[in-house]
Structure formats: structure tokens, C-alpha cells
Amino acid sequence: MQLGNASWGLRETPLEKQLAITRKMGFELLELSIAGYDRDFLQLNANEEHILKVKQLFAKYGIKLDCACTGNDFTNNDVEKQIEKVKRVMDIASMLKVKYLRIFAGFNSDSVVYGKRFSTAIDALKRVNQYAKTKNIIIVVETHGGVIENGNALVHFSSVTTRVDTWREILTSGVSINYDPANLGAVGDADPVAFYKLFEEHIKYIHLKDFCDVTGGVKPVACGEGRLDWKKLLSALKSYNGPALIEYELPEDVEDGLSRSLKFMKQNGVK
């Protein structure tokens, strides 16, 4: 696997510092968030000057511009607006020669996303995937449930991307999978390793993180510090050769959390 850093925990960190942290860790991959967060360097109005600056920064630190992401939801009522946003992000990503764009299907509970609402989301994924082909970009959809805050805890609940049956339909859109085993495990009704084995041929992108159980839900922690069965997981991932990005979700100590995660990976034979 090709280790790197995911963007979410770095959302409060300026882009150049993100790159410096990534280089210090010995990685060549950093997931670039485009209009996914209000502090992202690149927003939907990015121009050629902004694009050039990003290229220069990635080159300065020797980091590949292979992986990007954005935020979207195709299970709400503004699907056309969301499609246009993702297309605009792809226009920007194409100028950067990005290979993978991580997106979402949606965060609403699977209990309300069915019938026309689900078919509309599938159609949206088909449309953005068709557009991605014209840009030589691989769309990867994250296995991500809905999340609500419960005091100092997070409560994850099932969405259409944490269920095996709905993933079979999602894949008819032509997209690939961003496999996040911690998200699957946090829902409580999914076996992350069984999911990987079932959909291995469609998994082109991975997030590596962990959650620990706390009163009222779960809390993000570094890899190896939580509830995942890492021995079983890493054994299954031996055949995987694509991007595997460490995602430590807490911005207040993200550099330390990423470092602890990398230390754990190295101790368990991941290079």
C-alpha cells in the first residue's frame, strides 16, 4: 500500500504545514481537500494563480498530487446543485492532474434513503462518474455513515454506504470504493474485513484510522488505539497496492496523532 495523509484531521492546518508534516513523516501522498471545508486553500472560485500555487507547494515538498477530495451529499434535496459542485471540483482537480477524487453518496440515514431518493442518488453518482471519465479521474465513494455529536462523543449511524446490499447498487454507477474500515466498524452492524473481502476488486482507495468506545458513542483515536481488529485487517490488506491514507480526525493534536498512527503501522510491518 502507498501510505500518505488524509485531509480531514488537517482541516485547521494551513496547506503548506500539511505538506511539511507529510514530508516529515516520509510520505509522498497528501489528500488535497478542494472546497470541502471553509479553510481549504482551493475553493470553487479557484483560478489559475491558485492552481499554480498548489502545484508549486506540492513540488517544493516532493508530494504527489494524486489524491483529492470534496464534500457533497446526493441524498438531500439539492442534488443538482451538489452535482454541479462536484463537477466544478473535478475541473479544478483535472488542472492539477489528480488521479483520485474522494466524494460521498450522502450522510442521511439508510432508513430514509430508499425508492426515488435512493435512485436519484445513484443517478447523481452515474453522472459525476461519467464526467470524471472525461477528466481521467477515478471517483471513489467513501464508506461513511451519518454522524451526530453527543456531548464529547460521536454517534455513527448507518447510511447507504455502510450496507452491503446498497453498495451492490451503488457500484452500478461505475464508481469505486474509498474503504474506511473504522467508519464501517463504528456503525456496529458491519464487519470491516468481510466487507473488504467482498468488494476488494472495487476498492481503489483506503482511509486508516480508529475509534475507541466512550460513554455515549465513540471518539477518534490513532491507529491501533481503538476498537478495530488490526491484526485481522492488516492481514486482509496485504494484497492492496493503492493509496492508504492515515486519517486522524482531531485537529487539535493532529500531527501527534498521525505520528502515533505511523509508528503503529511500522510496528506492524507496514512500510
Domains of the chain by range and CATH? 2-267 (3.20.20.150)
- The C-alpha R_g of the chain, in whole angstroms, comes to 17
Q: How far is CA 113 from the centre of its chain?
A: 21
- Three-state SS at 139: strand
CA separation for the pair 236, 1 (Å, rounded):
12
**Residue 67 in contact with residue 140, Cβ under 8 Å?**
no
238: number of Cβ within 10 Å:
10
Q: Closest by alpha carbon to 67, among 144, 142, 137? A: 137
> pLDDT digit of tens for each residue in the chain (271 aa)?
999 999 999 999 999 999 999 999 999 999 999 999 999 999 999 999 999 999 999 999 999 999 999 999 999 999 999 999 999 999 999 999 999 999 999 999 999 999 999 999 999 999 999 999 999 999 999 999 999 999 989 999 999 999 999 999 999 999 999 999 999 999 966 799 999 999 999 999 999 999 999 999 999 999 999 999 999 999 999 999 999 999 999 999 999 999 999 999 999 999 7
Name the one residue in this structure whose C-alpha cell is 504545514. 17
Residues 104, 74: Cα–Cα separation, whole Å: 8
| pTM for the predicted model, two decimal places | 0.97
Give SS3 for 270.
coil
- Which candidate, 190, 30, 43, 28, places its Cα nearest to that of 110? 190
Beta-strand (E) ranges in the chain? Answer: 2-5, 32-33, 67-69, 100-103, 138-142, 146-150, 153-157, 176-179, 203-208, 210-214, 217-221, 243-246
Q: List the grid coordinates of 123.
A: 443517478
Partnered with residue 221 across adjacent β-strands are 210
Buried/exposed code over 181-190 (b: 16+ C-beta within 10 A; e: otherwise): bbbbbbbeeb
* Strand duo 138-142 + 176-179: pairing: parallel
Of residues 9, 7, 4, the one with CA closest to residue 22? 4
C-alpha cell at 192: 470491516
What does the angle CA 142 – CA 144 – CA 145 come to, to the nearest 5 degrees? 160
On whether the CB atoms of residues 108 and 159 are closer than 8 A, the answer is yes
Q: Tell me what pLDDT residue 190 has.
A: 72
Joined grid coordinates for residue 211: 475509534
